[in-house]
Amino acid sequence: MSAALQERRNGENGRYENVRVVTDEGTNAWEGQVSWSPVKSAWVSGMYMAAIIGGALTFNWSAFTLFLSFSAITLCLGHSLGMHRRFIHHSYECPKWLEYLFVHFGVLVGLAGPLGMMRTHDLRDWAQRQDRCHDYFGHQQPFLKDGFWQLHCEVDLAHPPTFRPETDVANDRVYRFMEKTWMLQQLPWALLFYAWGGWAFVIWGICVRVAVSVTGHWLIGYFAHNTGHRTWHVEGASVQGYNVAFAGLITMGESWHNNHHAFPGSALLGIEKGQVDPGWWVLKSLERLGLVWNLKLPADLPVRLELKELCDERNFNRFI
């Protein structure tokens, strides 16, 4: 199956699947142990300390403006359009150079390298669609405990599936380099910011931005799997997605998570009227410039037999 067709369904039973997650009869999503991850914890804690202490000592409005603008670039072009909608879900097409650039910006968010992000996303996606899954995958523990788990720990399943990315991705030299050096990807930007505005620009453009982005990613994950509005229900799934309306703008549309659970291959996340989706606005602008094409909408995706609409009066055709 080509990368463009990875939007994962089983043609025989009409159910959404992820072909990068390979299971067998003994695989399950609930038996496992959460353990502290020294590297992950040190990375996050270091960014927090630099952001809190350094941010207070170096604050100025120029540095704060850099934080806001570069956060918008890395979250929109990087995390949402590059890492999520393109690299993981193939929801639109673009030149390879643009994909590399966007995924690089996604790495700069500070969560993981491209293959690490794909693996984390796909295992969580697979686990949530099972009839039972570990609380780590579903953000089902109390708020502070879940925060500690997500920011400082990893889950080790007793009987995990095998993660098997597409050959063209696994063998891609650019992505392999990004994966090996994902923390170091911040350094060229840190040097540029230092030359531009000194330590204030480094602290606010790198450390504060990463600390806020990583924390925000966890917060949206927590609320988007626990509370909010739902239009769609995925039968058989132990964890449902919810739309977190107040965060649509600042998450570049990623907080419309019930929509994403329903139509994971859609390039449009804010599928209903009034659901702001800045990532989609940028994609449409790039489409007019000829830089992206074949943007997938919910109506372009295979019908999922397990997907049920909760509001019968709403019509799927409005998404066309």
- pLDDT, one tens digit per residue, over 33-80 is 999 999 999 999 999 999 999 999 999 999 999 999 999 999 999 999
pTM: 0.93
Question: Cα(249)–Cα(312) distance, rounded to whole angstroms?
Answer: 28
Domain assignment present for 311: yes
Q: Return mean pLDDT, the chain.
A: 93
**pLDDT value at residue 311:** 66
Is pLDDT of 5 > 80?
Answer: no
Q: Is residue 16 part of a domain?
A: no
Whole-number percent of the chain with pLDDT over 90 = 91
Q: Hey, CA dihedral for 223, 71, 282, 103, is it positive or negative?
A: negative
In whole angstroms, give the CA distance from residue 294 to residue 214: 30
24 belongs to a structural domain: no
Ramachandran assignment for 15, one of left (phi > 0), alpha (psi -120 to 50 degrees), beta (any other)? beta
d(C-alpha 107, C-alpha 63), whole Å: 21
- Whether residue 30 is contained in a domain is answered as no
Residue 105 · residue 77 · CB < 8 Å: yes
Predicted confidence band of residue 32 (pLDDT cuts 50, 70, 90): very high
The size of the chain, in residues, is 320
Within a domain: 22: no
- Positive or negative torsion for Cα 118, 244, 152, 79: positive
Q: Quote the number of domains for the chain.
A: 1
Instruction: Categorize the per-residue pLDDT at 3 as very low, low, confident or very high, splitting at 50, 70 and 90.
Output: very low
- Residues 6 or more apart whose CB falls under 8 angstroms from that of 271 comprise 256, 259, 263, 297, 298, 319
User: How big is the CA angle at 113 (ends 109 and 116), to the nearest 5 degrees?
Assistant: 120
Q: What confidence tens digit (pLDDT) does each residue in 179-226 have?
A: 999 999 999 999 999 999 999 999 999 999 999 999 999 999 999 999
3-state secondary structure of 153: strand
| Residue with token string 């453009």 | 205
Considering the domain boundaries, does residue 247 fall inside one? yes
End-to-end CA distance of the chain: 26
Residue 311's closest CA among 230, 228, 226, 224?
A: 230
Averaged pLDDT, 81-99:
98
Residues 6 or more apart in contact with residue 180 via CB below 8 angstroms: 113
Q: Calculate mean pLDDT across residues 245-262.
A: 97
What is the pLDDT at residue 15? 75
Q: Which two tokens stand for residue 304?
A: 């999922």
What token pair was written down for 246?
């107040």
CB 104 within 8 A of CB 185: yes
State which amino acid sits at residue 184: L
- Residue 92's alpha-carbon distances to 82, 291, 303, in angstroms, are 10, 11, 19
Give residue 13's pLDDT: 56
What pLDDT sits at residue 319? 39
Range of 144's domain? Answer: 36-319
pLDDT (tens digit per residue) in 127-182: 999 999 999 999 999 999 999 999 999 999 999 999 999 999 999 999 999 999 99
Residue 183 located in a structural domain: yes
Q: Does 62 reside within a domain? A: yes
